[in-house]
Structure 1
Amino acid sequence: MNALLIRSSTPSDLPAITAIYADNVYTGTGTFELEAPDEDEMADRRDGVLGKGLPWLVAENQGKVLGYAYANHFRPRRAYRFCLEDSIYLHHDARGRGVGRVLLAELLTRCELLGARQMLAVIGDAANADSIALHAALGFAHTGRLKSAGWKFDRWLDVVLMQRTLGPGDAAPAAD
């Protein structure tokens, strides 16, 4: 693979982002969504993340978007403001090529620079070994499992929870 570029997403990336997510919705269990959102909905989701000052990144190679990742607040209540959840989706041709690792590593760096203290991974399907291994390789630890939390493709799916400290984590008070 030629040089991989990790950059902030732009509105022109939305067709590729929408297609990548749709493929993940209809063929995978990394998301529990059952119907893929259209491009307008994906634009609204992206705008919501960016409007909070959080990153939405894409991985690009030779002008083609191979994947994307973003962080959002784990919960909307103010006390959770230092705790983020990552989301990462790859084009099927980009899987197993190291794209996810580079993309997630950059997302973690940017979130740490923003002052986030914890990153959570809420991984759909306990059998999603690639996502679990990716997060573990980047320092996430298993923190829990939600048994039979979702029903997709005519079967019950567990959710794996993983967590990684960013910056000083809970070793120092947070500064507003």
Structure 2
Amino acid sequence: MTEDITIRMAQSDDAESLARIYQYYVEHTAITFEYEAPNAAEMNARREKILAHYPYLVAEKDGRVLGYAYAHEFYGRAAYGWSVESSIYVDKDARKLGIGRRLYDALEAALRKMGILNINACIAVPRTDDDPYLTNGSVAFHKRLGYEMVGTFHQSGYKFGRWYDVAWMEKILGEHPEKPAPVKDFDRF
């Protein structure tokens, strides 16, 4: 199971693994709307940018990175400071082992320490039940973790010669006081 999985902060030498995991989703699924898989250098640059303020975590077993999750700024306006958008990718051969839940549990714990109150997830949604590139698995996964559906943008992404809807889901991490404390940067561990 997942007892022997280590969750830790992503490091620069994880870049090849991050690129390997993400490449599958770019090239074979509509889970991400990128058309070209970024190389390890680009993945490392993205990791560094996110880690300047937010958590970027990996799940590792026996020295192999099996998945990653991170949160980043939500729309870049001061009033959104207590909200983030999350992303998660698990190695295609390590899905359904509880790694995603472990990553998100650790991500949420880190975000709570920062003072983040809302996590938002942007999820591609198939328009038919028989789509070869996308299922409703991501929506079901987020529902199991306590996320609620907020809304759907119709035919917002085009990939593999077809249109996809985009669902937004949210999870409230804490109370929303009248005067919230400032959000702290991620404390690297």
Q: Does 1:158 align with 2:165?
A: yes
The answer to whether the Cα contact below 8 Å between 1:29 and 1:128 also exists between their aligned partners in 2 is no
Could you list the runs of 5+ residues in structure 1 that have no partner in the other structure?
A: none
Identity %: 39
| Secondary structure, counterpart of 1:47 in structure 2 | helix
CA distance in 2, matches of 1:124, 1:48: 24
Q: CA deviation at 1:154?
A: 0.8
Higher helix share: 1
> Which structure ranks higher in relative contact order (CA pairs < 8 Å, sequence separation ≥ 6)?
2
CA distance in 2, matches of 1:137, 1:109: 17
Q: Which residue of 2 aligns with 1:10?
A: 11
Determine which of 165, 179, 182 is the counterpart of 1:173: 179
TM-score, normalised by the number of residues in structure 2:
0.88
Could you list the runs of 5+ residues in structure 2 that have no partner in the other structure?
A: 127-133, 183-189
Alignment size in residue pairs: 174
User: Which digits, 9 at most, give the CA deviation of each residue in 1:26-59, with x for residues without a partner?
Assistant: 011111011111111111111110112x100001
User: Which digits, 9 at most, give the CA deviation of each residue in 1:48-77, with x for residues without a partner?
Assistant: 10112x100001111111000000011111
Q: CA deviation at 1:175?
A: 1.5
| Secondary structure, counterpart of 1:31 in structure 2 | coil
Alignment RMSD, CA only? 1.3
Q: Does 1:146 align with 2:120?
A: no
CA distance in 1, matches of 2:97, 2:142: 15
Q: CA deviation at 1:171?
A: 4.3
CA distance in 1, matches of 2:156, 2:6: 36
TM-score, normalised by the number of residues in structure 1:
0.94
